[in-house]
Amino acid sequence: MRAIKVYESSLYDFDEDEIVNDMYVKLLLTNSFDEELFIYTYKNEESIDNNTTDEEILNSDNFVIWLKNKLQNMLEDVKYDIQKIIDDSENIHIYRIMMVNDNWFNDLQNNGKRLGIFWSYEKKCG
């Protein structure tokens, strides 16, 4: 019997315009680090004069178009990277990391303590 998957959809079912839209761009630029990073990148890629202020850039239509294109490309890269890790059986392998103390190998050898004792359980985490 095969399990039924709830909310199953393809990466290519997502409407990119619903993700990269004016509201998202405005929200993204409320973070001063992101704003500075994108303005800096825009100035370099588009050879913008250093006398042009950040405010002028933020208010320009060309910057918004450039930023949306940049975000669209980033979204495509993410979709491609995710698609790459899906194997032939359409499964995605998820790996988990654990932190161990310096004595973990001795505990395994001498006391038979397995690595499972180092797993953490966080109710709201994966």
Crossing angle of helices 32-45 and 61-85, rounded to 10°: 100
d(Cα 79, Cα 86) in Å, to the nearest integer? 11
Res 124: pLDDT: 62
Res 2: pLDDT: 45
What does DSSP assign to residue 86?
B
Same domain, 85 and 111: no
d(Cα 55, Cα 57) in Å, to the nearest integer? 5
Same domain, 84 and 102: no
Identify the band that residue 101 occupies on the pLDDT scale cut at 50, 70 and 90: confident
Same domain, 84 and 122: no
- pTM exceeds cut of 0.85: no
Residue 2 falls within a domain, yes or no? no
Q: Which domain holds residue 63?
A: 14-91
